[in-house]
Amino acid sequence: MSYQQPAWGQQPLAPEPPKTGGPKWAKKRVVIPAGFGLFVVGIMFGAAGSGGTENAASSKPAPTVTKTVTAQPVEPVEDKADDKPAKAEKAEAPKKDADGGEKVPDFVGMGLQFAQDAAQEKGFYSLKSHDSTGRDRMQAFDRNWKVCSQNVKAGKTAPADTTLDFGAVKLEEECPASDKKAPEAVGGKMPDLVGESVNAARGTLASGTSITVTDAAQGRMVLMESNWQVCTQDPAPGAALGGQPVEFTAVKFEEDCP
């Protein structure tokens, strides 16, 4: 067989295959049934799947072992109520004597406010006070007054409902030898009110009495009557009181009557 050189620019021709006289069976086509192919593919996938299953199985966590523990009985918690501080006990009531009364303390010399507090601590709650000078001044600020006398003697046993009355003067004043009391209108007669405070004089007369007060020295207005003393009065002492008006002239206590 001769080989021809291709011209320039042409593709070389592939040589013809040699003709052989092989057996006839070589020329026959082998036909594989379709089912067999699917069977083979199934085997291949099955093998692959089994490998994946083994891998998955090997990757699973080890099974958890559960251990049963029998619970032990729990002892009851101790009550701590006894450890808490006890509540403050109420103040004990004042001890009473066998007859059910209380001994009255000595209040003389005490400040009026302190004396009142001390009396209440002993169980005496009915308290009052008055001006020992007889001027009938009001004890507006008890801390500015001191006790000069008391109506129940110190050391005497008295029921708790007894009214204690304190005679008092201002802190800068001297206590009188005895409490001075305002005169009273006895038998419907006009008492002698000269030298008394206008306030005490007014309190001596009936509440409906018409009273006029004038300054005996300078014509001032008489405002705080407990600071003024009576110089003259009309009606005169001993006159019958029948509801007639009463007139007073007065000056302040530190002044002399004209």
Q: What is the CATH number of the domain that holds 162?
A: 3.30.10.20
Q: What is the DSSP string of 97-163?
A: -TTS-EEPP--TTSBHHHHHHHHHHTT---EEEEETTSS----SSGGGEEEEEESS-TT-EE-TTPP
Where the chain has pLDDT below 50, the residues are 1, 25-28, 30, 36, 38-43, 45, 47-58, 78-86, 88-89, 91
The answer to whether residue 58 is domain-embedded is: no
The answer to whether residue 153 is domain-embedded is: yes
Predicted confidence (pLDDT) per residue in 188-217, tens digit? 999 999 999 999 999 999 999 999 999 999
The answer to whether residue 224 is domain-embedded is: yes
pLDDT of residue 149: 97
The answer to whether residue 95 is domain-embedded is: no
pLDDT of residue 55: 46
**Residue 108 · residue 130 · CB < 8 Å:** no
pLDDT of residue 172: 96
Which one of 170, 189, 215 terminates a domain? 170
The answer to whether residue 18 is domain-embedded is: no
The answer to whether residue 140 is domain-embedded is: yes
Q: At a CB cut-off of 8 Å and minimum separation 6, what does 258 contact? A: 216, 217, 231, 251
pTM over 0.95: no
**For residue 242, what are the domain limits?**
198-252
The answer to whether residue 42 is domain-embedded is: no
Say whether both 161 and 205 belong to one domain. Answer: no
Q: For the chain, how many structural domains are there in total? A: 2
The answer to whether residue 131 is domain-embedded is: yes
Judged by DSSP in three states, 66 sits in coil
Predicted confidence (pLDDT) per residue in 152-182, tens digit? 999 999 999 999 999 999 999 999 999 998 7
